[in-house]
Amino acid sequence: MQEILVLNSGSSSVKFALYHINTEESGPSQRALTLTYSGHFSGLATSQCRVSLEYREPGQNSHSYRLETLEALGLTPAMNHEDAITKLMAWLAQREDKGRLVAIGHRVVHGGQTYHEAVRLTADDVAELEKLSSLAPLHQSHGLAPIKLLMEQLPNVPQIACFDTAFHAHQPWVARQFALPREFTAKGLMRYGFHGLSYDYIQRTLPTVLPGDAPHSRVVVAHLGNGASMCAIRDGISVASTMGFTALDGLPMGTRSGALDPGLVLHLISHEKMSVDDVSTLLYKRSGLLGVSGISSDMRELLASDAPEAEEAIELYCYRAAREIASLAGALGGLDQLVFTAGIGEHAAPVRARIVAQCEWLGMQLDEIANNRDAACISLPGSHVGVWIIPTDEERVIASDCLALLNKAS
Ligand SMILES: Nc1ncnc2c1ncn2[C@@H]1O[C@H](COP(=O)(O)OP(=O)(O)O)[C@@H](O)[C@H]1O
Ligand SMILES: CC(=O)OP(=O)(O)O
Ligand SMILES: [Mg+2]
């Protein structure tokens, strides 16, 4: 049995998924992949480190679930990303149902100007991608560290990178440019957009959940997780996104500010005498829901809180989201479907309700009952714009891109 392992490394977490390749169905189709194990390490490098693991019996639909204790996996509470990968690889290697690992697919957040599709990495590629670390300080180095480690430990297993930026690479030039002098644009100072693996998954899945006659040529997808962005998709292609040069632009996020007046950054440096590192920490780690509420970056905690500051943070979050939907509808010249995805998008009914209420003028009508039970379709039958919840699956897209690459190489 051949296997593909997928690693999705975030700022404080590593998600993983292991797929069996069904060799009877050759070709890059998703049907050729069967998910067997998935799970995640969260709270890495903190005392809150936890591991969860799910196992799917081959041929069965239901998941049996168990939460491994740290002790059972031999983990120490303050373990970091590297420890997590080492433990995961050791655990995978000792399984009785172990197959032959034919590729490891990695989420790499920034592909810069060069990397527009999944690629089998060489050491030179990794060095090139490392140069982009300052453009994704919460993500890039965590995505590249396991690649370097596994290139050393498993030199014969292809390490394949799949990029968050790739889905946006074919946006119209006008959507990618900043209004800067041309020599800066020529250096690559332009909008890239992120969460592309998630958008790719939604774009592939939406036609399978829509009723046959529903129009879906103009779609906005709201990926609202710890990081949050939105994407305007026309006929399956990204045409605009709220994230730009870095994953700091656009919507307010758990700890990131989202879009700011650039003059404010100049003011922080010149008047508040903040260093580049101070400003970076402020905008990436101390702002967003955490900064405005002063309570938490976690939407669940804010929704459960009675504090007026929590309410203010949620109000700002929803207001900004509704404004961005209208802006993206402008880029599309109208809107057929809106899709919510990722942690907040999939689970936070009050947040969705507030965002949709502010978009009523665009022709959206929320089905409150469906919304409260996280149903797939959450708009009323007469709504001009359909509103949907589709759980994202970045790991599935990575595995399927790896398989396509392996098939091409063989
Ligand atoms: N049931 C829920 N209700 C409200 N918010 C939720 C719920 N479940 C998860 N979330 C929120 O989703 C966010 C995390 O999203 P997720 O997509 O898991 O993040 P990541 O970007 O780390 O993959 C957190 O703000 C969390 O509070
Ligand atoms: C690009 C980005 O913000 O990713 P995440 O949501 O995983 O933090
Ligand atoms: Mg995520």
Longest CA pairwise span in the chain (Å): 65
Distant-in-sequence, close-in-space partners of 218: CB < 8 Å, separation ≥ 6: 232, 233, 234, 329, 332, 333, 334, 335, 336, 337
**Are 68 and 51 in contact, with CB atoms under 8 Å apart?**
yes
Amino acid at 358: Q
What is the best residue among 164, 300, 317 to mutate for testing ligand 1's pocket, by most ligand atoms within 8 Å of CB? 300
Pocket lining for ligand 1, CB < 6 angstroms:
10, 13, 225-227, 254, 298-300, 303, 342-344, 347-348
Phi, psi (degrees; rounded to nearest 5) at 397:
-65, -40
The reply to whether ipTM tops 0.95 is: yes
Nearest CA to ligand 1 atom 21: 226
- What residue type is 130 in one-letter code? E
Q: Confirm or deny that 224 is annotated as ligand binding.
A: yes
pLDDT tens per residue, the chain (410 residues)? 899 999 998 777 889 999 999 876 555 554 589 988 888 887 776 666 677 777 665 555 545 445 455 556 666 666 788 888 888 888 888 888 889 999 999 999 999 999 999 999 999 999 999 999 999 998 999 899 999 999 999 999 999 999 999 999 999 999 999 999 999 999 999 999 999 999 999 999 999 999 988 999 999 999 999 999 999 999 999 999 999 999 999 999 999 999 999 999 999 999 999 999 999 999 999 999 999 999 999 999 999 999 999 999 999 999 999 999 999 999 999 999 999 999 999 999 999 999 999 999 999 999 999 999 999 999 999 999 999 999 999 999 999 999 999 988 87
Mutate to test the pocket of ligand 2, among 8, 195, 285 (most ligand atoms within 8 A of CB): 195
What is the pTM for the complete model shown? 0.94
C-alpha distances in angstroms, 38 versus 18, 20, 124, 208? 6, 12, 30, 24
User: Residues 26, 28, 30, 35: what is their CA dihedral angle, to the nearest 10 degrees?
Assistant: 70
- β-strand partners of 37: 18, 55
369 is in an annotated binding site: no
367 a catalytic residue? no
Say whether 44 counts as a known binding-site residue.
no
Unique residue bearing structure tokens 């490098």: 45
- Cα of 342 to ligand 3 centre, how many Å? 7
CA–CA distance, 302 with 380 (Å, rounded to integer): 28
- Å from CA of 177 to ligand 3 middle: 26
Q: What domains sit in the chain, N to C, each tagged with a CATH number?
A: 2-163 (3.30.420.40), 211-389 (3.30.420.40)
**CB neighbour class for 394 (10 Å; exposed up to 12, middle 13-18, buried from 19):** buried
